[in-house]
């Protein structure tokens, strides 16, 4: 038995099969890029670093899915189906009719069992969620919110353009409709101490979410955060690989045990970063290290949850 509740276990329990995500780029943008709320986007962001080469907005949704299935079929032969993952930028940031066209093209593709929609808390409303809840009567529908931090000062500093209260409200509206709800956070953002990151576990536990995804902060070439990191390194907590594994175990102990962990660290292709302080360790090896550390410390997800809540 794992010492933490994995997203893979959650999916298998809920849907009975393994499901593989296929990233699709539908050509969206974000309100902190197009001038609606700001310009330049989040200071850490270059979406090209986070999605595969087959996923580009010049291709139709169907073509991206076809190429994605071909790409993954050999690696994930045990997959019982696929989920179209609308990932780059804010994938509800368009009129409902446009969203309907894109989502339903994905759902009509053979072998696709459902959709995963990556978006921001300020890019959702009741009408869009009602539509997604209707879709979920016949398909798998997951909504994943990029929240990144529990602290408004951090969100403002990284030019995020939404608040923690926005995130709480969006998650609540989504969960109330019975939709699978997820959230994404970054560990190591500027001005956040280890103590702040640990304390955030309590706020995360209060969210009505089913799964969570964490990434360590990675400094991407050409971003505003690269400039900040070079000018003010004292603002950042730098984790060694071993140090990060131990720190994440500290967080995991504080998270409620029913919260599925989809990811706890990220991989960015080396060409997008100036250095790879952890080497070229892959995600599968990181998972082995996490499980080994949990066993060494004789601990598990939620060990401190009741004590702190």
DSSP 105-150: HHHTSTTEEEEEEEE-TTS--HHHHHHHHHHTTTSEEEEEEEEE-S
Q: What are phi and psi for residue 230, nearest 5 degrees?
A: -70, -35
Q: What is the pLDDT of residues 1-22, one digit of tens each?
A: 689 999 999 999 999 888 999 9
What pLDDT score does 77 carry? 64
Residue 1: inside a domain, yes or no?
Answer: no
Residue 50: band (very low, low, confident or very high) from pLDDT cuts 50, 70, 90? low
Q: How many CB atoms lie within 10 A of CB 197?
A: 23
Alpha-carbon distances, residue 99 vs 5, 34, 169, 292 (angstroms): 32, 18, 21, 43
> Are 171 and 181 contacting, i.e. CB atoms less than 8 angstroms apart?
yes
The reported pLDDT for the residue numbered 76 is 63
pLDDT at 95 over 90: yes
Dihedral sign, CA of 55, 56, 59, 62?
positive
pTM metric for this prediction = 0.94
| Residue 171 covered by a domain | yes
Q: Could you tell me the CA-to-CA distances from 133 to 57, 138, 164 in Å, in that order?
A: 26, 10, 24
State the pLDDT at residue 49: 63
**pLDDT value at 307 more than 80:** no
User: Angle at Cα 143 formed by Cα 168 and Cα 225, nearest 5°?
Assistant: 70
Is residue 28, in this structure, part of any structural domain at all?
yes
The mean predicted confidence, pLDDT, of the chain is 93
- Give yes or no for residue 177 having a pLDDT over 70: yes
In this predicted structure, what is the pLDDT of residue 23? 94
Q: What is the model's pLDDT at position 2?
A: 86
Asked whether the CA dihedral 155, 156, 159, 160 is positive or negative, the reply is: positive
State how far the Cα of 174 lies from the Cα of 70, in Å rounded to an integer.
Answer: 33
- Within a domain: 118: yes
Q: Is the pLDDT of residue 200 over 90?
A: yes
CATH code of the domain covering residue 232: 3.20.20
Percentage above 70 pLDDT, the chain:
96
* Burial of 291 per CB tally in 10 Å (0-12, 13-18, 19+): middle
DSSP 81: E
Quote the percentage of the chain above a pLDDT of 90. 83
**Looking at the domain assignment, is residue 17 inside a domain?**
yes
Confidence at 26, pLDDT banded by 50, 70, 90: very high
Residue 284 lies inside a defined structural domain of this protein: yes
Using the predicted structure, report yes or no on whether residue 308 has a pLDDT greater than 80.
no
pLDDT attached to residue 309: 60
Averaged pLDDT for residues 260-287: 85
Residue 182 belongs to a domain: yes
Buried/exposed 88-112: b ≥16 CB within 10 Å, e otherwise: bbbbbbbeeeebeebbebbbebeeb
Look at residue 44 and give its three-state secondary structure.
coil
CB 262 within 8 A of CB 211: yes
Structurally, the chain folds into a number of domains equal to 1
**Which whole number is the average pLDDT over 191-219?**
96
Read off the tokens for 285.
């090896």
Which residue segment(s) compose the domain that 290 sits in?
7-308
Do the domain assignments include residue 2? Answer: no
CA distance 293 to 241: 12
């Amino acid at each position: 038995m794992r010492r933490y509740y994995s997203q893979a276990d959650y999916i298998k329990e809920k849907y009975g099969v393994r499901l593989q995500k296929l990233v699709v780029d539908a050509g969206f943008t974000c309100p902190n890029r197009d001038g609606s709320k700001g310009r330049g986007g989040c200071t850490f962001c270059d979406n090209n670093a986070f999605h595969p080469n087959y996923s580009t907005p010049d291709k139709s949704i169907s073509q991206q899915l076809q190429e994605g299935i071909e790409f993954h079929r050999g690696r994930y032969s045990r997959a019982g189906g696929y989920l179209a993952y609308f990932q780059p930028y804010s994938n509800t940031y368009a009129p409902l009719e446009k969203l309907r066209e894109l989502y339903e093209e994905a759902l009509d593709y053979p072998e696709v069992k459902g959709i995963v929609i990556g978006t921001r808390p300020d890019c959702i409303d009741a009408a869009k969620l009602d539509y997604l809840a209707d879709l979920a009567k016949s398909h798998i529908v997951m909504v994943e919110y990029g929240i990144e931090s529990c602290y408004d000062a951090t969100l403002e500093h990284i030019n995020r353009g939404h608040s923690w209260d926005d995130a709480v409200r969006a998650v609540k509206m989504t969960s109330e409709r019975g939709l699978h709800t997820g959230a994404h956070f970054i560990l190591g953002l500027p001005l956040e101490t280890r103590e702040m990151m640990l304390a955030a576990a309590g706020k995360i536990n209060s969210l009505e979410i089913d799964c969570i995804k964490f990434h360590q902060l990675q400094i991407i070439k050409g971003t505003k955060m690269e400039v900040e990191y070079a000018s003010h390194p004292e603002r950042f907590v730098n984790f060694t690989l071993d140090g990060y594994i131990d720190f994440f175990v500290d967080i995991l102990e504080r998270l409620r045990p029913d919260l599925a962990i989809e990811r706890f660290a990220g991989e960015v292709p080396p060409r997008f970063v100036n250095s790879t302080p952890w080497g070229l360790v892959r995600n599968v090896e990181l998972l082995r290290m996490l499980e080994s550390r949990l066993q060494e410390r004789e601990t598990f997800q939620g060990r401190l949850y009741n004590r702190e809540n």
